[in-house]
Chains A and B, each alone.
Chain A
Amino acid sequence: MENRGNVWVFAEQEGGKLADVSLELVSKACDLAAKLGTKVEAVLLGNNVKGCVDTLFSYGCSNVYLAEDERLEPFTVLPYAKVIMDLILEHKPNILLFGATMKGRELAPRVASMKKAGLTADCTDLQIDDFEDKVNKKFYKDKLMQIRPAFGGNIIATIVNSWDDPQMVTVREGVMKMGTPDPSRKGTVTKVDVALTEKETVVKVLERVRQDSTVNLKGAQIIVAGGYGVGSKENFKLIRELADALGGEVAASRAAVDAGWISHDYQVGQTGVTVRPKLYIACGISGSVQHCAGMSESKKIIAINTDPGAPIFSVAHYGIIGDLNSVIPMMIKAFKAKA
């Protein structure tokens, strides 16, 4: 019951630029493949996208399945699913990783459904371990442990795929750490013949309207986040002032977003953005599991909260037990004096 196929990553691109999450997944795939003794391969679909190949090699891919066809640009799910399904049937990968992006969330379930394989969405960690299926009395060696929060984040579940199908998962952007590219790494390109019928090309994209996000929390080095403890929409100006003074970005917990004090674009956590800045200042955030899941990998975390028992202190490196209304002005004053 062992699948010794390789570890695959769906290399998502837009206009010939690879999505960061795909490179994060290639980096993680390298760890998994090293434990399995297999290789990392990417599946790259689009039109005129071979410029992405060297980037994939530099992050650790040893082979790229390259499917170029004008019908694969822009992205529509039916042709993509068909091409990937054909590749799965031909090459039998062991693991297939998708980014939990708009495209990945649409594509992965469709491929899983076509293959009748399992799919675990929004994983926060991936490991290799053995699994004994006591119900069906089977033992599986070196299965992919698909770890994700469940039941509102109060439980961490480890899920395995007990069939001999590709083990498929989606992972949200920012959850896995991107490795360091090595331009000297080289690999092979396997060109894929794109065999599509009218059945798969029934959808035509007539017009595309893009709205790029104006918030870049993922790339921010310093983040000042406010929670329900900030107290009001007006009081969020304190958070902005501190962020401006430190040269950082403003973020928020879900409680602050739900209260209508700031838009969802700024939300950090399980249902928002996952960040790992060098400094994260949590102001008036209690620290639910869901919020911590999105920021606990920050290099340094400062928590400001009046409640000494707040869970945010479990992930904090520095804790200030006090009122943010007095502490934040002190921080701004101290930084301006020292900088």
Chain B
Amino acid sequence: MKYKKAMGRSEFASTLAADADKAASIAEFEKKYAEKGLLITELTAAEAGADVNRCGLAGSPTKVKQIMSVVLTAGDFKNVEPTEAGVTGLIHELITDHTLG
């Protein structure tokens, strides 16, 4: 639970008021959180050695063109009664059309 309070620089910066001295506040935040072991290190794409042109959506070689939700509901089917007569009739039909036997 200790790390629930961990935070990175950008997340902290987003909490600052517009007129705040951001540089000073961030420096103080980093010092304080680092001492507690709660500072999440952030790396930029350049720092990680990544090709910026290949980062993000524009950099993906694949795109999702379309998604469709699949909702299966009971549809049209031939209802067979769960009785001797119903089941015998079904088996007979399957034997007649060579599905069985």
Known: A136-B58, A313-B75, A320-B86. A159 touches B63 (CB 8 A): yes
The one of B57, B67, B72, B101 that contacts A339, using a Cβ cutoff of 8 Å:
B101
Write out, one digit per residue, whether chain A residues 312-339 have a CB within 8 A of any chain B CB (1) or not (0).
Answer: 0111111111110011001101110111
Distance between B11 CB and nearest chain A CB, rounded to angstroms: 27
Taking CB atoms and an 8 Å cut-off, the chain A residues in 119-171 that contact chain B are: 119-120, 131, 133, 135-136, 145-146, 149-150, 153-163, 165
A310 part of interface (Cβ distance < 8 Å) = yes
Number of B positions contacting A (CB below 8 A): 36
Distance between A319 CB and nearest chain B CB, rounded to angstroms: 4
Does B100 contact A314, Cβ atoms closer than 8 Å?
no
The stretch among B12-20, B39-47, B90-98 that forms the contact with chain A is B90-98
Q: Which residues of A contact B67 (CB under 8 A)?
A: 150, 155-158
Known: A246-B100, A326-B82, A327-B82. A160 touches B77 (CB 8 A): no
Q: A131-B63, A135-B57, A302-B90 are in contact. List 6 more A-B contacts (CB 8 A).
A: A149-B70, A157-B68, A161-B63, A279-B100, A289-B72, A327-B87
B74 part of interface (Cβ distance < 8 Å) = yes
- The B interface, classified by DSSP as helix, strand, loop or mixed, is mixed
Does A334 contact B88, Cβ atoms closer than 8 Å?
yes
Closest to B73 in A: A314
Q: How far is the CA of A155 from the CA of B72 in the complex (A)?
A: 12
B84 part of interface (Cβ distance < 8 Å) = yes
- The A interface, classified by DSSP as helix, strand, loop or mixed, is mixed
A222 part of interface (Cβ distance < 8 Å) = yes
A116 part of interface (Cβ distance < 8 Å) = yes
Known: A135-B57, A136-B58, A150-B67. A314 touches B80 (CB 8 A): no
Number of A positions contacting B (CB below 8 A): 62
Does B91 contact A159, Cβ atoms closer than 8 Å?
no
Q: How far is the CA of A135 from the CA of B80 in the complex (A)?
A: 52
Taking CB atoms and an 8 Å cut-off, the chain B residues in 26-58 that contact chain A are: 57-58
Which of B's residues lie within 8 Å of A, judged by CB?
Answer: 57-58, 60-70, 72-75, 77-84, 86-88, 90-92, 94-95, 99-101
Write out, one digit per residue, whether chain A residues 264-308 have a CB within 8 A of any chain B CB (1) or not (0).
Answer: 000000000000001100000001110010000001101100001
Q: Which residues of B contact A145 (CB under 8 A)?
A: 65
Q: Which residues of A contact B68 (CB under 8 A)?
A: 155-158
Q: Which residues of B contact A117 (CB under 8 A)?
A: 61
Q: Which residues of A contact B82 (CB under 8 A)?
A: 320-323, 326-327, 330
A51 part of interface (Cβ distance < 8 Å) = no
Q: How far is the CA of A150 from the CA of B62 in the complex (A)?
A: 14
